[in-house]
Structure 1
Amino acid sequence: MADNTKLILPSILLLFVVYVVIYEVICWRRLLPGFPLPPALPLIGNLHQLQSNAAEQHRKWARKYGPVFQVRMGNLPVLVINSAATAKIVFSHNSQATASRPELYTFHKLVSNTAGTTIGSAPYNESLIRRRKGASSALNRPAVETYVPHLDLETKDFIKDILEFGESGHRLVNPVPLVQRLSLSLSLTLNWGTRITSHKDGLFQEITHVEEEINRFRSTTDNLQDYIPLLRLVPFSFRNKAVEYRQRRDRYLHKLNRELDDRIRNGTHEPCIQANVILDKETKLDNIELTSISLTMLSGGFETFSAVATWAIGLLATRLDIQQKAYDEIRGIYAAENPLCDAKDDQKCKYIVALVRESLRYFTVLRLSLPRVTNKEFTYDGNLIPVGTMVFLNSWACNMDPDLWIDPEVFRPERWFEQPSQPIFTFGVGYRMCAGSLLAYRELYLTFLRMLASFEIQSDGPINVDPLRGVNELTSLVSVPKKYHVRFVPRNERILVAALEAASF
């Protein structure tokens, strides 16, 4: 027996060594000829260097290896694009070749195997084409115009929440739940025709918690089992957590769909995207595809809007000069007696437009865009990029590209007056660019317009709004700031209260 034990341990060690050797041979054969590679370790490749802030690490490597290089994510080579010029070549000039998404183990196999994926994370196929067409028709400019009454209602409710919850500037406020309620209620209204009227609502708390946790499973670097298959054999808790949050998301999706079905049957439903698709006899979408659009509306807009608005509020509290410039321009268009401005205002206040664009650029809340995978081969700089190659767009590096801006690391809305045609990469580029960008711009504009017309945002202490040092969790898919509190001081409380009382809710 002792002799057998002595033989078992060396045998296991030998098998592991053989496995590693074969694994490494396969990994090195997969590498892309002609593209630089930072030094990598066996089994994990460059993952150990990308665990804290992958987008910034890629940006640093780009200074040494050039704007296009490859990294080893465990057993997979990944091409990383780090400049505006190369992003245009890879994702715009080769849009059809970079139109697909990889299917990653944690998010696609564990989290999404019942309700399906969002449009943004789905692989390229005929089903995706149908879903994108459906979403595009619901998110184009004419469609966004029809959503103005919803934007009007939700942003007025946001102003009312700020005034009441902040006790007219006498109470310090964590703006996150107020911003999230605004964003989530708009998403639910547009897609299911139902609202969230309070950030204390149980459904609000469940959805925000679950969506934030699911975002962790969408991280491009934090789920090691996506890139090291051996880890999938170990009973880590990630598997149980993924299944738990998938089940919790399924429950509230089922609830929202069931309640909408009941309203449709009773003839009491409000016009919304989901009902329009269900009632359209020409629609060719099945239930999974319909749910995919719902998930896209729920998670996509909720994530980006909430993160950008939270960063911007914190920054504005530290930059009274920017607030004053914005307020002066608003007063040049709207009288002080009209703090709610006009919901139909399609971005007339140019400084607010610039403030929105600069917030999207400077904070780049989705710093590594969701990964692509090539579905056609093409060449870059004479080097072949074969089918099945994973590609990362480093939106953070592109938005901070010194070839675009002389001072990219400075928050300065005025840059958008000086160079109004410069690209912005927060919503991606090419075929898989976010379809909801027009709605996001309109929502952010009206929110900033009404908020700054109604309140001066003040801070009692320092707020870290540095986009690198102020991030709450560096491995998260969406970058959000560390927790802070501000005061929303009414510019004229009497006028604001009267305007809210006169408004319809």
Structure 2
Amino acid sequence: MEWALSSVNPLTIALTAGFVLLILSFLKGKKSGNKPPGPKGIPIFGSMFQLGDLPHQTMYHWSKTYGPLLWLNLGQVNTMIVQNASTAAELFKKHDVPFADRKVPDALTAYNFNAGSLGMNTFGGHWRVLRRLCSMEFLVNKRMNETTELRMRLMHDMIRWIEEDSRTSLAQGGTGAVQLSRFLFLMAFNLVGNLMLSRDLLDAKDPEGKEFFDCMNVILELAGTPNIADFFPALKLIDPLGMKRNMTRNMTRTMKISSKFVQERLDNRKAGKFQEKKDFLDVLLEYEGDGKDGPDRMTEHNVNIVIMEMFFAGSETTSISIEWGFTELLRNPHAFKKVREELDRVVGVNRLVEEKDVENMPYLQAVVKETLRLHPALPLLLPRNTMEDTKYMGYLIPKGTQVLVNAWAIGRDPDSWEDPLSFKPERFLKSSIEYKGQHFELIPFGSGRRICVGFPLAHRVVHLTIATLVQAFDWDLGTGVKPEHIDLQERLGLTLRKKNPLKVIPKKRVQV
């Protein structure tokens, strides 16, 4: 989330600040106690306006002054930031449970989304049900292996889309350049569509799929837009920027479409027509819990929320990671060459790379690790919330404190990484470090009880897609453009995207 509020109208801020001044006198003072160090900030607003457009970078630079454990007052929200491997280990090993709740942005409470979501749900019964369904019934190796052919089909679709778009550009007098992020997102979106609903949702013959896609894009934008109500909770009652109202409108449209998918499946099941291969919608519909109303009850509303969430998580973060990885390869031709040579040695040029090939490609694996070290899709992971007053590394952390883990800063910590700002996949070739939550210097998916449940799928898709792009095409950067000209500027919303999407000219290399 862009915490700087730099895109908010100054008049709106001034009017809202006046209202805040009136209500502050009625609010109780914050608990005193021993807190971690941090910048003092300004009255009322604290450090809100010091963070800038890229708060993860500002926090990283502040660690040089205040140390790896940072304390900020953001409006009325106490916030603790964890910024190196040792402070992260302390959190996940010793305090994972008291810090396992979520601090939920107000926009994501629209339509009661957070109450049915896995990622934003309160730590409790319904969260445990969703976690179990995802980790034990769906995103397990057996089910992932059953969908291998699906991912290969989507690789072929992606190659075709890239070729067609480049040809269209040339026919219209252009250079043939394509914006790669578009096709990565479409591929990931259809992958989630098939895993959830056994259908491509982005197809010229499926207008509802296109509408669903458009609504999801709006929801992602709203979720990443700054909202002053998140810093002054009393303002949530009036929603001064209309964020929750806008989110509710778009979620209503999305829910209406997903409800049709769900009803269609229910009607088919009643008629005795079952899926040849069970998808996640089947898993959700078949779950009965104890058969009673309660926190683990899987209502139709909750099913629709889970469907929405899987599209958020699976499409956006996966496609972003692939674009960052491929960008780094194009900026570092020696690394690109090594991946290409590894592909030619393991796969050849007569067939397209497959998932089973990845285990024999250590350099490709190192490229993905290095990408996730430098470019975690969620640089601050998802915000946690302390459920009780907690002693943490000698400090008193009050109940209700927002806890952020700066995975972006941890990946650049010179105490953990030699030459941390450089892209060097070789650092992982003789290293046992993984990103499964046990090595705290590399936690792009988090750790502990609330580690991202989708990382096994992301692991497969990111490796396979980067390898496919390197193998299937030669890539031209355009006239006069050198690798070092490719920028790495960031844009933080809900996730960490490239500020300037990668545009390159593909030339078919492997005929598939």
TM range (shorter): 0.7 to 0.9
Asked if the contact 2:355–2:460 (Cα under 8 Å) also holds between the matched residues in 1, the reply is no
- Any residues of structure 2 matched to 1:204-219 within 5 Å, and which? 205-219=210-224
Residue 51 of structure 1, CA deviation: 4.1
One-letter amino acid matched to 1:298: F
**Aligned residue for 1:427?**
445
| Aligned-pair CA distance for 1:344 | 3.5
User: Which residue does the alignment assign to 1:167?
Assistant: 167
Instruction: Kindly report which structure 2 residues correspond to 1:271-290, keeping only aligned pairs within 5 A, or say none.
Output: 271-280=278-287, 285-287=297-299, 288-290=301-303
| 1:234 to partner: Cα distance | 6.6
Report the equivalent of 1:380: 392
Question: Hey, what's the Cα distance between the residues in 2 that align with 1:188 and 1:83?
Answer: 37
Match of 1:225 among 223, 229, 243: 229
When structure 1 is superposed on structure 2, of 58-67 and 149-158 the one drifting more is: 149-158
CA RMSD between the two structures: 2.9
Deviations 1:225-280 (A, max 9, x none): 11124644374343442222222222232233233334434415342011133235
Alignment gaps of 5+ in structure 2: 1-16, 171-175, 291-295
CA distance in 2 between counterparts of 1:187 and 1:249 reads 15
Q: Which amino acid aligns with 1:113?
A: N
Q: Quick one: structure 1 residues 174 and 31, their matched pair in 2 at CA, closer, same or farther if it must change by over 3 Å?
A: farther
Aligned residues: 472
Question: Paired residue for 1:449, among 445, 462, 467?
Answer: 467
Preserved contact between residue 184 and residue 319 of structure 2 (Cα < 8 Å): yes
Residue pairs, 1:359-398, within 5 angstroms: 359-398=371-410
Question: Could you tell me which of 238, 246, 251 is aligned with 2:251?
Answer: 246
2:504 is matched with 486
TM-score normalised by the chain length of structure 2? 0.84
Mapped partners of 2:142, 2:356: distance in 1: 13
Would the aligned equivalents of 2:63 and 2:70 in 1 still touch at CA under 8 Å?
yes
Displacement, 1:20?
A: 4.0
Conserved 8 A contact 1:428-1:434: yes
Residues 1:185 and 2:185 aligned together: no
Instruction: Give the C-alpha shift of residue 162 in structure 1.
Output: 2.2
- The answer to whether the 8 A contact 1:36-1:69 is kept is yes
Equivalent residue of 2:404, what SS?
strand
| Cα shift at 1:314 | 3.1
- CA 1:17 to 1:156, structure 2 compared with 1: closer, same or farther past 3 Å? closer
Residue 127 of structure 1 is matched in structure 2 by 126
Q: What's the CA shift string for 1:137-163, capped at 9, x where partnerless?
A: 111233322221221221222122223
| Secondary structure of the corresponding residue to residue 310 of structure 1 | helix
Higher Rg of the two aligned structures: 1
C-alpha distance 114-356 of structure 1, shift in aligned 2 (>3 A): closer
1:4 paired residue number: none
Residues 358 and 364 in structure 2, CA contact (< 8 A), matched pair in contact too = no
Counterpart-to-counterpart distance in 2, 1:16 and 1:439: 44
CA contact (8 A) 1:96 1:376 kept: no
Residues 71, 370 of structure 1: CA spacing in aligned structure 2 closer, same or farther, 3 A cutoff?
Answer: same
Q: What are the superposed Cα offsets for residues 20-63 of structure 1, whole Å, 9 maximum, x if unpaired?
A: 4555x62xx23652321312222221111124111111111111
Aligned residue for 2:403, secondary structure, equals strand
Instruction: Indicate the residue corresponding to 2:309 in structure 1.
Output: 296
Q: 1:356 is aligned with what amino acid? A: V
Shift of 1:209: 3.7
Partner residue, 2:361: 349
Q: Secondary structure, in 3 states, of the residue corresponding to 2:179?
A: coil
- The 1:442/1:145 distance shift into structure 2, 3 A limit, reads same
Q: Does residue 1:336 correspond to 2:341, yes or no?
A: no
The offset of 1:216, in angstroms, is: 4.0
Report what 1:148 is aligned to: 148
| Residues 225, 115 of structure 1: alpha-carbon distance in 2 compared, 3 angstrom cutoff | closer
Letter in 2 for 1:326: V
State whether residues 229 and 240 of structure 2, in contact with CA within 8 Å, keep that contact through their aligned partners in structure 1. no
Task: Give the match for residue 275 of structure 2.
Answer: 269
User: TM-score scaled by structure 1?
Assistant: 0.85
Aligned to 1:437: 455
Q: 1:114 to 1:17 in 2, by over 3 A?
A: closer
Separation in structure 2 between the aligned mates of residue 146 and residue 487 of structure 1, nearest angstrom: 34
Deviates more, 1:239-248 or 1:80-89: 239-248
Equivalent position of 1:94 in the other structure: 95
Whole-Å separation in 2 of the counterparts to 1:140 and 1:282: 20
User: What residue is the counterpart of 1:52 in the other structure?
Assistant: 53
Determine which of 332, 341, 349 is the counterpart of 1:319.
332
Per-residue Cα deviation, 1:298-345 (whole angstroms, up to 9, x for no partner): 11111111111222333333333222110101111112212x123443
1:205 is displaced (CA, Å) by: 4.4
List structure 1 runs of 4+ shifted beyond 6 angstroms.
Answer: 13-16
**What is the Cα deviation at residue 292 of structure 1?**
4.1
